[in-house]
Amino acid sequence: MGKKLETAMIFGDHMVLQRQKPIRIWGSCEGDGPVRISLAGQETTAECTDGRWEAVLPPMEAYEGLELVVSSGDETFRFTDVAVGEVWLAAGQSNMEFYLRYDAERKDAEENPKIRMFDYPEVAFEGQLEQGDYSDYGFWRVCQSENLDYFSAAAYYFAMKIQKRYQVPVGIVGCSWGATPACAWMDPAYLEDNEGKVWLEDYQKVLDELDTEAYEKEYQSNPEHFRQKPFENELNEAMMYGVTPEELGRIIQDMLSRGESIAQTEGPKSEKRPGGLYGSMVKKIAPYPVCGVLWYQGENDEKHADVYDTVLSRLIRCWRDLWGEELPFCIVQLAPFRYWDQEHMDLYPALRRAQDQVSREVPAVWVASIMDEGVETDIHPKKKRPVGERLALLARGHVYGEEILCDPPECRNLTVEDGRLILIFDNAGEGLEIRGERVEALVITCDGKGLEDYGTRIEKDSLIIESPEIEKEKKVCVRFAETDFCIVNLYSSIGLPAKPFTKYGD
């Protein structure tokens, strides 16, 4: 009986391989014979060990129209239309998954066959792939009209900018799942010795109280646990396209009246459990060579917002260890949104501060601000072009080494004078810009008393706040965009919105 040979799911027709890095290829096997791999005249062999094989081909420059051949005995895989270029991992939750289908500018989306995207199936445990039809995932889609709806919108706009700038093929590897906390995407061991262990403790309490038999019965009968067809879930479609809270409530009530479940039960097969998606998704695509990571996540870490900086830092360390290199991370700071529980409206600002803190403390991590793109009653902003294009700016400046302004304005210093406050910003470019009569989203206190009557103006890289109530001797605090929802209209000269901040007077 012949040996059964397989390649990892991520290898297929139309794939893009990362240029200028060793090309790692792997898969499974039965038996112990050699596996032969060839690409563009380069050949190597791999041995089957414990049912797995892995090979490494030397780095290549950008190329198109290649064929990757993997064979053993009388079994052969031939992958065609293989390209070499820039590959980025697009990961996180629903705002990264957010398909171009739902984007406000979908009608203007362009084809570009030099861009391809691979989406790993949303499975939460080993063996789930075999329990349903996940054929809409797990292969490389070329950026053509029939495939555009399936592209992550943010990643699509990112890829378009990178492809047009560097004129090489661009591949996006999608690995995202809506409403998932960061702890689901990492090895739980990375949280055991720090304050992030609160997520592990919460999960242990769930397990201690779980009725295993009832859980398994509910899990198998609840279609919400099996995300097989991306556009056939009524509730998800409504949320992504955007409906009023009243309309959303009606849809939920209709589903409940039909006996349909809208929630997932926590337990050992939940996509939200610590380490769940790390094992069932992330490790399935690693160590596919990539240039870096685009990370848009955090909305579902509000339960423990106070430790998100630790969790996100440890996730980055975990992934870098898994890939065996210091992968760059470009992070999207959460957009303004009116948090549904107003008793905890401070959670979103806390998450944004944590994201900013990680970018300051962890090397090769940068933050893109989308503080001007929030929708008060919709957690899914419908314009993803700014997200993707601002991530592309970060990549161009920090990863590809272009000497360009790519970071959002950031307040460096506050000086108090009689009658005015002077806030100096980094990354202002040729000068700050106010789009409107005065800067919005400011909360100013003098000796603890709120300042309401003031004016704002710009002097190059400085924001000047003027009021006769400002006195040098008073204790002054300026908070900018430090609420769950706000309107941000302060920009750099290239149109990047300022990041939130809190500053105290000298």
Position 56 pLDDT exceeds 70 = yes
Task: With beta carbons less than 8 A apart as the criterion, state whether 366 and 330 touch.
Answer: yes
Question: How much is the pTM?
Answer: 0.96
Torsional class of 278: left (φ above 0), alpha (ψ -120 to 50), beta (otherwise): alpha
Amino acid at 18: Q
Position 2 pLDDT exceeds 50 = no
Position 244 pLDDT exceeds 90 = no
Task: With beta carbons less than 8 A apart as the criterion, state whether 314 and 329 touch.
Answer: no
At residue 364, the pLDDT reads 98
Position 497 pLDDT exceeds 50 = yes
Reported as a single tens digit per residue, the pLDDT across 313-340 is 999 999 999 999 999 999 999 999 998 7
Position 396 pLDDT exceeds 90 = yes
Task: With beta carbons less than 8 A apart as the criterion, state whether 397 and 404 touch.
Answer: yes
Residue scoring higher pLDDT (239 or 150) = 150
Position 359 pLDDT exceeds 90 = yes
Per-residue confidence band for 155, with pLDDT thresholds at 50, 70 and 90: very high
- The distance in angstroms from the start CA to the end CA of the chain is 79
Instruction: State whether residue 91 is helix, strand or coil.
Output: strand
Q: Are strands 23-29 and 52-57 parallel, antiparallel or unpaired?
A: antiparallel
Average pLDDT over residues 462-472: 96
What are the structure tokens assigned to 390, written together?
């601002």
Amino acid at 100: L
Mean pLDDT (the chain, rounded): 95
Task: With beta carbons less than 8 A apart as the criterion, state whether 89 and 143 touch.
Answer: no
Average pLDDT over residues 109-138: 96
Least confident stretch, 57-71, 262-276, 418-432, 441-455: 262-276
For residue 61, CA distances in Å to 18, 20, 37, 64 come to 9, 6, 18, 10
Closest CA to 503 of 418, 421, 427: 421
At residue 3, the pLDDT reads 54
Strand partners of residue 284: none
Strand partners of residue 174: 90, 119
Angle of helix 234-241 relative to helix 245-257, nearest 10 degrees? Answer: 180
DSSP state of 12: -
At residue 506, the pLDDT reads 67
Dihedral pair phi/psi, residue 307, rounded to 5°:
-115, 10
What are the structure tokens assigned to 449, written together?
């008393």
Task: With beta carbons less than 8 A apart as the criterion, state whether 318 and 278 touch.
Answer: yes
At residue 272, the pLDDT reads 96
Position 180 pLDDT exceeds 50 = yes
For residue 417, CA distances in Å to 13, 397, 421, 457, 480 come to 65, 36, 6, 15, 19
Per-residue confidence band for 492, with pLDDT thresholds at 50, 70 and 90: very high
Average pLDDT over residues 85-114: 97
Position 1 pLDDT exceeds 70 = no
Query: Peptide bond before 409: cis, by omega within 30 degrees of 0?
Result: no
What are the structure tokens assigned to 62, written together?
């950008």
Number of separate helices (H) and strands (E) present in the chain: 11, 24
At residue 249, the pLDDT reads 84
